[in-house]
Structure 1
Amino acid sequence: MPDLQLIAAQDSSTHPPVKEVNVGSKREWNVRASPAVGRSRNPIRETLASITANQPSCSKTPINLGLGDPTHYPLHPPPPAAIEAVAKAVIGGGSNGYLNGVGSTEARQAVVDYHGRWDRVKYDISDIVLTHGVGQGLDLLFSVMIPPASVERSNILLPRPGFAQYTALLANLDAEIRYYDCVEEKDWEVDLEMIDTLCDENTRAILVNNPSNPCGSNYSRQALKDILEIADKHKVPIIADEIYGHMTWSSPFTPLASLSTSVPIITLSGLSKRFLVPGWRFGWLCLHDPLGVASSIKSGMQCWGNRFMGPNSLIQSALPSILATEPEWYDEVINKIELLAKIVYQGISDAPGLSTTFPSGAMYSFVKIDTAAFPSIRDDVAFATALYDEQAVFVLPGLCFGMPGYFRIVLGTPSEVMVDVIGRIQEFCDEHSVRD
């Protein structure tokens, strides 16, 4: 049997004695969340919860036009082929396992075929990364493109007004956010001079959202060419959020990548809006790199894709059938949204103290409030709060999009519901406005 005392003596000669613990001191719990949590709040969800926390004072049925969810009422049934394909994937039992983190070959090829057919842009499947919706696609892309501040200073250009999630997703990164204006008098197209001024050697990307949320605009071909010219001048890639691509009615949609012969374009798209299935959480990234200067971004997208092991395997299996949906189905959806756009435009034009441009894309109308016409209402948040309380209609204040003094209406209800909404808004404005 070993001599335990000898072993202990030898051990103490090579290791310092353990310090005595002061049993009188008491350590307190110090469990903390990162400060990034506070900066990453989603103002859309928070505003919805705040304004609708209490029941309206009126007896009317509440109508929620705050969230861009086309299934809430619903606007239109999803493509029948999509439902059949998902059901087949579930029943077949062969789509339950892990897939390549960037997406299966078949699903990515379906995305390649889809954009080749609709956008006239040629991609290779290696240019495609599938994601858990466009939100996660943005998160992935921002993480790949923006370096830590300790390594390199950087900035990114975002539109104003713009989708609130952009800022929320950037909150835990180190990039400086620079906002460029979209000009209402020019149908919400971008302030080109402002973009040119804001770009510098530290600009990592310009984000362009077209068709626009919240503006409901569809940029002209020339406007997109002008943006590309500035990006080429500064040698800055463009992130093209085109989740509402081809959801237009006044004029055709122009994919930004279809115009670029030099500027790298990373296009984001998905199923949530055009296919009316936001809860399926399925999106993708497409890299168009005409000069082959963005290979590190391509590798980064693939690396980050494998961190999440790809989106839902059932939807990946069904994707070829979903993306092959016949054009006639899309036409039915667009005709309904266009009708809603006309109802809202005419109704807002007849409401005292409000004005709007006619939307031509996406599924939104962005309405301007003449604050001088409503002396008892201090701002857009107060307007939305009072409208919900008195008329049971929820609209999202412009503050959520970096544009106080406006509110957004979602064009996603049956037409008779929207007629009711407009009547309530007009009644509210008649009650609160002061005419000259």
Structure 2
Amino acid sequence: MRSQDILEAVEEEGRPWLKEGGQMEMASQMHLKPQIHSSDCEIMVEVIDVSARAAAIEYAIRDVVVPAVELEKQGHEIIRMNVGDPLAFDGLPTPKHMISAYKDALDNQKNGYGPSYGIPELREAIAVSETKKGWACEMDDVYVTHGVTEALQIIFASFLEPGDKVLAPGPHYPPYMAYPQMYGATTVEYRLDPNDGWRIDLEDIKSKMDESVRLLVLINPNNPTGNVASVEEIDSLIHIAEQWPKCTIIADEIYDGLDFTNKFVSVASRSNKVPVLALNGVSKVYFAPGWRIGYMAWHDPSGKLGLVRDGVERLLRSRLCASTPAQFGYLAGLTDDTDWLKGHRSRIKERLDYCINRISEIEGLECEAPGGAFYLFVRISNDKLSSDDKNFVLRLLEEKHVLVVHGSGFSPEYGHGHFRMVCLPPIEILDEAFNRISDFLGG
């Protein structure tokens, strides 16, 4: 069965099943599963409908794994460059002192429920870390979550009503598109300029702001492009938000420690009027994504968010708490020496530079050098191939067994004709991946 067929089956309304011989059959309009035959019975099963909320959710980064797994079952070795998980590759381990702190918590029976907003020691350490970035953060401003993704879910649930809008960069991390629709809201994308290093198109933001925009998102450094916003861009974005009293800024800064330009600036440190929700966590800079610990730090200089914070705290209490031992592991990362990060950053930069160099040698591909994070957002400059970036990705997977993510999965409008690749594998694996990509493009 072709990779395209498998992925399309996942995306279809309803759910497919595979019959003998690999032929795909879908439920009828009456939602009846095809007959199941045996030697002595014939059964017709009525299918239970999925909710519209769940059926509408797409997550391109992991959706492409479905056909990859099928190929692996057939014995093919896939070079996976789709998920930003440093632990999937050699040379980027979780720091030993963080693992020791996690183990110590387990050994000392710190395995019970923790406070719903996070253990006090970690909240205080996060507040100190955020204050060092240039704004006065207190422990009570910090809420610990199951990763940044849960923080987003809670924020959207607390801020959004039907008809509201989220204004997010295009391209962006997929949950910014997926989750608001669960609350009847809409995500509108503002343009990042692909011809200017994916800088923010401030005029486009101005043209799309109105009273229904409750949340204005900045991902900095950006996923998937790697652009690092300048202080001038941040100040301009804040100035735009100031014109709309109901607007709050989400500053997704999960990659802040992987800024190779040395120009990263905390959004909260620049705002003296507009509320800013700073998001960060253990996954990317502290190399422990499986621990699922993130946080949101609330900067509310005008005191606008009291009612919303009450809603957030209600939701946090209702879901109990984040992992207690994992919080102690993150605490060690924030409070102990961070010299180890220099080696990790150096290895990531070396791998990024290698990827940029290899892409420059392949006719039909182009990319901007990222300022941060560990991705490349690659333009497919071959017109025949760029018209359908999803098909490009699936063909590359099926024919050369290299897994990347279609750019339209990060933005149907602004990501079209691109693909995102993770540059974390060791050089020898990257070398093989690019050899296959070059061969795929006829090079």
Answer yes or no: same fold by TM over 0.5.
yes
Q: Are 1:158 and 2:158 matched, yes or no?
A: no
Where do 1:94-243 residues align within 5 Å? 95-117=110-132, 119-147=133-161, 149=162, 153-235=163-245, 236-243=247-254
Deviation of residue 55 (structure 1)? 5.0
Deviation of residue 161 (structure 1)? 0.8
Change (3 A) 1:358 1:30: closer
Deviation of residue 204 (structure 1)? 0.6
Change (3 A) 1:180 1:377: closer
Name structure 1 gaps, 5 residues minimum: 1-27, 432-436
TM norm structure 1: 0.86
1:337-385 alpha-carbon deviations (Å, 9 max, x no partner): 111111111111110011000011011000000132xx47752122222
**Percent of pairs with identical residues:** 28
SS in structure 2 of the partner of residue 179 of structure 1 = strand
1:69-92 alpha-carbon deviations (Å, 9 max, x no partner): 111123411112101101111111
Q: Who wins on radius of gyration, i.e. which is larger? A: 1
Letter in 2 for 1:246: G
Q: State the partner residue of 1:250.
A: 261
Where do 1:296-307 residues align within 5 Å? 296-307=307-318
Deviation of residue 61 (structure 1)? 4.1
**Is the 1:244–1:273 Cα contact (8 Å) retained in structure 2?**
yes
Deviation of residue 303 (structure 1)? 1.9
Q: Are 1:423 and 2:435 matched, yes or no?
A: yes
Question: Post-superposition, which runs of at least 4 consecutive aligned residues in structure 1 deviate over 4 A?
Answer: 28-31
Change (3 A) 1:283 1:376: closer
Q: Distance in 1 between matches of 2:99 and 2:385?
A: 49
Letter in 1 for 2:363: P
Deviation of residue 51 (structure 1)? 4.9
Where do 1:249-268 residues align within 5 Å? 249-268=260-279
**Is the 1:238–1:265 Cα contact (8 Å) retained in structure 2?**
yes
Letter in 2 for 1:87: K
TM norm structure 2: 0.84
Change (3 A) 1:251 1:186: farther
SS in structure 2 of the partner of residue 287 of structure 1 = strand
Deviation of residue 229 (structure 1)? 1.0
Q: Distance in 1 between matches of 2:338 and 2:104?
A: 23
Name structure 2 gaps, 5 residues minimum: 1-44
Change (3 A) 1:421 1:29: closer
Change (3 A) 1:320 1:181: same
Q: Distance in 1 between matches of 2:120 and 2:71?
A: 49
Q: Distance in 2 between matches of 1:361 and 1:34?
A: 38
Q: Distance in 2 between matches of 1:201 and 1:171?
A: 18
Q: Distance in 2 between matches of 1:43 and 1:407?
A: 11
Q: State the partner residue of 2:403.
A: 394
Change (3 A) 1:376 1:176: closer
**Is the 1:79–1:325 Cα contact (8 Å) retained in structure 2?**
no
For CA contacts below 8 A with separation 6 or more, give which structure has more relative contact order: 1
Q: Distance in 2 between matches of 1:203 and 1:61?
A: 45
Change (3 A) 1:377 1:176: closer
Q: Are 1:269 and 2:285 matched, yes or no?
A: no
Where do 1:283-294 residues align within 5 Å? 283-294=294-305
Where do 1:358-377 residues align within 5 Å? 358-372=369-383, 375=384
